[in-house]
A and B are shown apart, each in its own frame.
Chain A
Amino acid sequence: MFEGVEAYRELLTTCDFSPEEIDNELPRLKKAFDKAGLTVEDVKRCRERMITYFEADTLRGARMALGLHIRAFVDMVMAGEEHDVRIYGHLPLMAGHCVLGAAELARPDAYIGLPDLICHMVLGAFFNKLDPLLEASEAWCLPAGLAHCGCSQAKIGGRLTDVVPPATLHVSAGNYCDEAPKVDEVLAYHFKEPVVWCNRCQDESFDDPPMDDRHLKYFSANIRRTKDAISEAVGAEVTNQMIMQTMMATEEVGKEFKRIQDYRAESDPSPISVVTTDMAAALVGIDMTPRGLSKVAEMMKVLADEVQDRVERGVGVVPKGAPRVMYAYVLPFASPAVGKAFEEAGLNVCVREGYGSMPIWSRREEIAKLDPCDIVAGIFLHNPTLVKPRWRADVVVLGYNKAKLDGIVMLPHYSCRVFGTDFPMMRDMVRKELGDIPITVLETDVFDPRYYTAEQARTRIESFSEMVRAAKASAA
């Protein structure tokens, strides 16, 4: 065995690995961690962070989720040795998710993954060691201080440092932002790795109808093209049935996750930390294959049952009666301390933007007649958070009223043109609907923890908490 093996064993125990699994996985894990430059001291600190931020000491579902993240990281780092075919997505993949995940059914021995998100969760959130990847990309092609997306930087940095093995195909998300496809162009140029761009036309105005035919056709044609490129890369056809099967697997996870969301929105005190919830939810983007999703669904059910148990026992993570606020849209992936700071300031961050909006699956009969690529395009174009500030504002208002909230936290992201620019419009639209309710805009960065710290944000978070309390007291 190796020096510090006990620390590794403790980490894996904290991640709900059985003793047999630990014995089997330890050599792979050590090799992957060594490759990523993670030391025994890092492993010890990682375990502490899992307990401090993610309730690993009290929730088995949280431990399972942490374990799935760690497995995903090890699988990714080792994919160069263990898989001949490696297909990578790029956040925000969104529309290509089910198509990419379906590739596993066409070629079961292929590695399918989202290296940027995996690196952010494991190296960022758990180990607090994302900086070397970000700096590697800055030293080469995405200079520091020029507001490049940390997500893209992590992917480039991962490739440069060999944490992320070479790809057979990159599936690039040209359907959402402009940075990701440009970065994949760099990958194609430098590493000679093929890329397929899954684009949509982004020329819609705020109030265009959701299912505009031109947008839908263009986008679904791109998804088909992506499907064909993936089929070619894996050497077997990704069929419509496989895509449908992957969508169904996603739905199973969604059902259990909705239980958790509903408990959080409806219970006082809040039964689970927003940080734990987001960490578990991130797995939908990581384990996107049917095989992976079945494990995520199992974890999510355990977590939802535990949350239910906490609700029944009246156990909460913030005091009963704490002001209830919505966050729009994402708390920093790589820095769980920011989400925690809200709870430490006595706020119940109980609802995420999107709560209460109608899921696409409620129109199952309508969409069942469609081609899966049309469905995937339709799902994306129906998702307000991903498409238009006008709808985002509507959904925020809907969720605010449905969950009877006391305030809204808007989190624009430094380095993100999409999430960075929507918020002034959204805030104005929400104020027009809801009046002078407490809203705070906290600039942060989902992907790059160097641009903010929880300590720096603490005064603003606490001030917001005091503002919400004062407004609540005045209203009473």
Chain B
Amino acid sequence: MVVAGVDVGAATAKAVILRDGGIAGFAVLPTGHDIQKIARKVTRLALAKAELTMADLHYTVGTGYGRRAIPFADEAITEITCHARGANWVIPETRTIIDIGGQDSKAIRLDARGNVLNFVMNDKCAAGTGRFFEVMAKVLQLPLDKFASPELLGQHPWKISSVCTVFAESEVVSLRAEKKSREDIIAGLYQAVASRVGAMARTIDYEDLVVFTGGVAKNKAMARALEEEIGHKIVCPDEPQIMGALGAALFALKKV
């Protein structure tokens, strides 16, 4: 039995293929502007890794911002519900998820079965999202992957605005003009995001185990800053970016 979960987010599209209850393949691609096209492409890529084709799919669940625009999806479920299910499958002890994606961030509290008990979401503002890092990497003229390097993290972080990406950008430009250390600026930026996301997550009374998901979770420096901010140990799954797609695939599996 082959099922798929397809998560079309603001920055990346992800697909997970489950065959006989196990992950047979997954893929991640930049979303671009054509949701239908990228959904098909990322699914085909994930299927190809499992030596399968679209014809092998028995059921597909779409999730993410583009969930309703995936033409071959049998059902759409929100990414909040899917993230909870995916993280619960990978790490059953998960009780809180902090997810930082390309354009939003969210905190989800869940029960032992992966049901959502409470959630909070920042989808109005780039502060505390992957977009914040993209903007800052550009200002500091660093490629995004370099921006995430632990060796570029200063010891004396500058206090930078956590409430607005535009304000923070202005601050970084000023700090650069004052020839402040780039490493300390970057450390300050991590703190700003951690502060913003931590404040949001506190409103749902997070419990251990806290799992960090989304594309930004691949950034170890961010995970560390968040851990310091919330005072809880944070666990990152091996593939934090695909939790939503995985959860969607698990919902698909229940349907067949």
Contacts and interface: CB of A to CB of B under 8 A. Distances in A.
A466 B110 CA distance: 13
A459 B81 contact: no
B78 A459 contact: yes
A452 B125 CA distance: 11
A466 B78 CA distance: 8
Contacts of B121: 459-460, 463
A20 interface: no
Q: How large is the interface on A (under 10, 10 to 19, 20 to 34, 35 or more residues)?
A: 10 to 19
Contacts of A470: 81, 115-116
A51 to B, nearest CB: 23
B73 interface: no
B208 to A, nearest CB: 17
A441 B78 contact: no
A439 B119 CA distance: 9
Contact of B119 (A424, A436, A463): A463
B107 interface: no
A463 B81 contact: yes
Contact of B80 (A439, A452, A463): A463
Given A459-B78, A459-B79, A459-B80, A467 B119 contact: yes
Contacts of B65: 459
Contacts, number: 47
Interface in B47-98: 65, 77-81
Given A459-B79, A463-B81, A466-B77, A471 B115 contact: yes
A441 B81 CA distance: 17
B3 to A, nearest CB: 19
Nearest to A456: B123
A466 B116 contact: yes
Nearest to B114: A470
A474 interface: yes
Nearest to A451: B124
A456 B104 CA distance: 11
A436 B78 CA distance: 21
Contacts of B113: 474
B77 A456 contact: no
A460 B120 CA distance: 8
* Secondary structure class of chain A's binding surface, majority of residues: helix
Nearest to B81: A466
Interface in A428-461: 436, 439-441, 443, 452, 456, 459-460
A460 B123 contact: yes
B25 to A, nearest CB: 27
A138 interface: no
B84 to A, nearest CB: 9
A456 B119 CA distance: 16
B118 interface: yes
Contacts of A394: none
Count chain A CB atoms within 10 A of each CB in B78, B118, B120, B121 and give the residue with the most.
Answer: B78
Interface string B191-212: 0000000000001000000000
Contact of B78 (A439, A456, A462, A474): A462
Given A459-B65, A459-B123, A466-B78, A439 B118 contact: yes
Contacts of A439: 118
A463 B78 contact: yes
A127 B123 CA distance: 27
B173 interface: no
Contacts of B139: none
A463 B78 CA distance: 6
A441 B120 contact: yes
Contacts of B144: none
Nearest to A428: B205
A335 to B, nearest CB: 15
A466 B79 CA distance: 11
Contacts of B81: 463, 466-467, 470
A474 B124 CA distance: 32
A441 B118 CA distance: 10
18 contacts: A439-B118, A440-B119, A443-B124, A459-B80, A460-B80, A460-B119, A460-B121, A463-B79, A463-B81, A463-B116, A463-B119, A463-B121, A466-B116, A467-B80, A467-B81, A467-B116, A470-B81, A470-B115
What are the 3 A-B residue pairs with the smallest beta carbon separation, nearest first? A463-B80, A463-B78, A466-B81
Given A452-B124, A466-B80, A474-B115, 14 more contacts: A436-B117, A459-B79, A460-B80, A460-B119, A460-B123, A463-B80, A463-B81, A466-B78, A466-B81, A467-B80, A467-B116, A467-B117, A470-B81, A471-B115
